[in-house]
Amino acid sequence: MPNWKEYPPPSRPVAMGVNGMVSSAHSLASLAGLQVLTEGGNAFDAATSVAATLGVVEPYMSGPGGIGLALAYVARERRTRVLNFSGRAPMAAEPSRFTPESKQTGILAALVPGNVAGWLTLHETYGSLDRRRLLQPAIDYAENGFPVSDFNSRIFAEQVPRVSRYPASASILLDRDGRPPLPGSLFRMPRLAGSLRKIAEGGKDVFYRGELAAEVVQGVRAMGGLLSESDLAEYEPQWQEPIRISYRGYEVLTTPPNSSGFQILQTLKLMESFEGRDLSFQHPDTIHALMEAIKLCVTDRIRYGGDPDYVAAPLEGLLSEGYAARQRQRIDKKSVSVVAGEHYVGQSPPGALEPGSLEDFEGGMTTHFAVADRDGNVVSVTQTLGGRFGSAVAVGETGIFLNNMCYWFDLEKGSPNLIGPGKRVDFVLAPTHTYRDGRFFLSMGTPGGWGILQTTVQLLMNVLDFGMDLQQAIEAPRFRYYAGKRVEMEERFPLQLRRALAAMGHEVDILDAWSLFVGAAHAVQADQDRGVFHGGADSRRDGLALGW
């Protein structure tokens, strides 16, 4: 394994602490979580506070109108649990009611929001502090304002044409002259503050069955949307068991379907047997093998991903040693295969990869954060509105932007992810935990659309295979494969590497040096023997890791 000095130094050191660690995509959210820990709260309390605060200081990424997933190690139970709060399609969501445009932007695009149910279920099940205390930072920043960063300002500005189509949304984002917030200014969202205050006082009931539910449904109906009182009232998040694989002596866990996290685990299994020159950081042979493995696993994910109530993904086979060995034989070290793309298409291009055979085996924009406490609890949450500002619709006077997660459903008959009444969408949120010798070792996750399933593999390999610290692993350049032979790579990859890949047949496009198209990861690591936490945060966003 290479020495850490062989890698470029990170832009900042790894955060360290002995009592707890918080890593999120915004400094104010990380601070909110750390303050909860210092006041005696546990990781579940802190996660609730971080999640709600991120919905304010990154209002385009998540919020009460969004959905998400949590992967949590519960120390007192010595087990890892998944909380799925990914929402459901409205019961009126028949495929014929949608077009590709309406399922992306506008009032038809929203699933039942799951975030509020997720945040508060985590707290009610395992938290210890008062709910009002945990939501207070989010309320304060929404009411009194938070300083707009350059990153905030760029996204605000680029979303003006989309958001300004809806008066209630435009009144939140734009000033009286129609301008978005500038860097360094204070941005206030008093209507959102009012909604968060109602949630702090009334809990889940006020959002799903009470005053806020009535306001949301009234606003949706006024715009011709599909969400009903019963859609909200009947929604409950679901506790699930994680899925897992062994990988080079580690155990890697992630979230089960309707999450597409199995693609991450599949890819790792394909890469597990590579060694020597075939497993060398930024060696053309290693990068080529990883790209080809990703394409094989994307193809399987498109075939088998969907709501597990309707589609039974054969996970035992997909994650088996035998299937990985067979799929690995399909990787040609000298040539490049064609992949149909990142999601279902009715007609694949000529020569595109087909899913592997399992007969012989039985068997937008998003945000991610992680919290660990002194008792050993670790909570990792990935939450989203889908696209930036979700559907672009803020309903009524609530100040709440609704998600556009209907975009992730397909409209083509034959897709296992076809939209339908009450269905859960096949989606890409997939936080991961890694364990060594039965003890927690690493929590890592990222936003990035379908790229999440590619970026997370690269991040994990940077730590588990190449021995990087968290900050180095997060800052290392990343790539993302699309359709055909097209791959996008951050320009910090060495020129000779990019040329070697192009000579093999990969069609290499260059991204900015620090590109949002390859995600923005956050991670927490535990050195169990020394009793020290490490935290890493992505400089591609406003991320910060804080320990104490």
The catalytic residues are 366
- Do residues 315 and 353 make contact, with C-beta atoms less than 8 angstroms apart? no
Residue 50's alpha-carbon distances to 29, 368, 434, in angstroms, are: 5, 10, 22
- How far is Cα of residue 117 from the mean position of the Cα atoms in its chain? 17
- Do residues 214 and 227 make contact, with C-beta atoms less than 8 angstroms apart? no
- Do residues 43 and 80 make contact, with C-beta atoms less than 8 angstroms apart? no
- Do residues 389 and 219 make contact, with C-beta atoms less than 8 angstroms apart? no
202 membership: H or E segment, kind and range: helix 190-208
| Sheet of strand 486-490, all strands in order from the earlier edge strand to the far edge | 479-481, 486-490, 507-511
Q: What is the CA radius of gyration of the chain?
A: 22
Per the DSSP assignment, residues forming a β-bridge with 246 are: 251
Beta strands in 353-445 (DSSP E): 365-373, 378-386, 432-436, 439-445
Contacts of 176 (CB under 8 A, 6+ apart): none
Beta strands in 37-162 (DSSP E): 67-74, 79-85, 146-147
Amino acid at 92: A
Largest CA distance in the chain: 65
Tell me which DSSP letter residue 113 carries.
Answer: P
Q: Is the peptide bond before 258 cis (omega within 30 degrees of 0)?
A: yes
Residue 525's alpha-carbon distances to 134, 381, 542, 545, in angstroms, are: 24, 15, 20, 11
Q: What share of the chain is helix, strand, coil (3-state, %, to 5)?
A: 40, 20, 40
- Do residues 468 and 462 make contact, with C-beta atoms less than 8 angstroms apart? yes
What is the tally of helices (H) and strands (E) in the chain?
17, 19
Q: Write the burial class of residue 424 (CB in 10 Å: 0-12 exposed, 13-18 middle, 19+ buried).
A: buried
- Do residues 341 and 485 make contact, with C-beta atoms less than 8 angstroms apart? no
Pairwise CA distance, residues 261 & 238, whole Å: 17
Pairwise CA distance, residues 16 & 546, whole Å: 7
* Tokens matching residue 94: 């028949």
Pairwise CA distance, residues 185 & 519, whole Å: 26
* Placement of tokens 């028949």 in the chain: 94
